Chains A and B, each alone.
Chain A
Amino acid sequence: MTDLSQTKLTQQQVRERIEQRLASRHRKEKIFRGLGIASIAFGMLAVLVLFTDIISKGSGAFVQSAIELRVHYDEQVLGIDKVDDESLAWANFTGVIREALRERFPEASSRSEKRELYSLVSTGAPFTLRDRLEANPELLGQTETVWLTADDDVDTFVKSLSDSAEGFRGRTSDQKAGWIEQLMASGELKKRFNTTFFTNGDSREPEQAGIRAALMGSLFTLLVTLALSFPIGVAAAIYLEEYAPKNRWTDLIEVNINNLAAVPSIVFGLLGLAIFINFFELPRSAPLVGGLVLTLMTLPTIIISSRAALKAVPPSIREAAMGMGASRMQVVFHHVLPLAMPGMLTGAIIGMAQALGETAPLLMIGMVAFIVDVPGGITDPSTVLPVQIFLWADSPERAFVERTSAAIMVLLSVLILMNASAVLLRKKLERRW
């Protein structure tokens, strides 16, 4: 103990010195706190700007213009006399729609005018009629009013009207714009919820393009990734943390795992191409191969976070179990693993979130293909959400702009859902000791 009265400084002097420094200490405290708040504010602002930008651009994609037409299922125009699979495949639904359009706007007479007229509705509209007729065969020869999806140019024009009175014309002629305005005025053109976006695969026609194929592709890919990387990663972490002796070899392995985490993802893509597709001859563009490649990529993340979770389990629990005569495996599986599980799951879900957003390695194994059909399994050709975003962002049609943003919104929602479930799981599994 230092007795102040014995040093050269008197208590008075000591107090003065402390007081002198006090102001600057408080100032530093304030500056530090201010810096913290500023960084958080910056982060929040960035997120806010990102979200408002994406949502303002992408929300339009969730509605789609549709045109109400009175169609007559004329046997002659359709070229069929009964409704069965074969005749439905041959039937000329386009003719029926054209006739309905001509009826609605009889003023279109020249070839070019007619072409303009026909382009009011989507090229996918005949399929709508086909489906209706297939479901209700008694409609043959009858007339009914149906809502048909409008063409993307029409949709873009309609949506742009809210920004400016002129609207975005693009390829839309004055006459066509007049028709559209006429339809809108009479309530025959309405913006309706865009179910197509959630039920279809990709398409060259924006109004028929949907996110479902990519979503399912991502889902299958992630399933493969999770099913492989979680057990392998956890097993590796348990071995390294609980069993392996600490020597030069395990040090080397640890360094290499850390290195693996830093390898650019495109390299994993090339590896996957060379090994899984060229050597093992697995199908190209398949979620199976995508999942394998992403497993290689997420494995280091899962191993590192699982090891951290295992390290965080208090050694007293291990000692208690060991003191009871539990074997090493019993110690791990009865005591350590349940306590480390929340941390491991968090790591796994962070790894999965990374994998969900990964594009580069999947380009190498052919998941960049144009996929129209929704994949039904892990060997079907498919694409994934980020690749779909990349493809749409690259497409010239203006209607793809909002679809790109909408796809980003879907991707972000999936991410938020995953992270939220991670937090919930953690809360549920977490135990206190």
Chain B
Amino acid sequence: MEVKDVFDDAFCDVTKKIVKLDLHKSDEKMQDAQAVSDFQDYREMIQTQGYVNAVIVCRFSNEMFHYITNTMNNGVTPSGEELPLYINEYINIACGCAISRINDMTGQLSRLTVPRFYQCGEPLEGDLDFREQRFLSYDSRLGKLQVYLFYSLNDYEEGK
């Protein structure tokens, strides 16, 4: 199973469980790292370190972003201060599920950083120059979600 497939399962399962929304794959085209950094939408970035070294960037349509954060706050729009905490938790759970599965499959460890929220138009900080780049694109009845996976697999524990 590929890294991309593990993240696909995790995002679909977690979105269904936490905010009761079905994600459907869409045919959007992957864009390059510079475009990802320059997107004008709400975005979240989370990194992994260890066997999987990755930067994961999630791009939300306005409708999807507010649906997720409102639903996680029992249908009420969170305050501006709390908004990032809700979307951080969504990404933390989805990516944590994926990384846990990869850890168990490979017997090697990767760890997650605390996610970071980017307002519309705020440029991303950090290097997106990784060996592998994968892309997941979803439609739903309540907006769009894209997940960019920039990663490399670290073989430092091979042969142990």
Q: Do A and B bind each other?
A: no
Interface set of A (CB-CB < 8 Å, partner B):
none
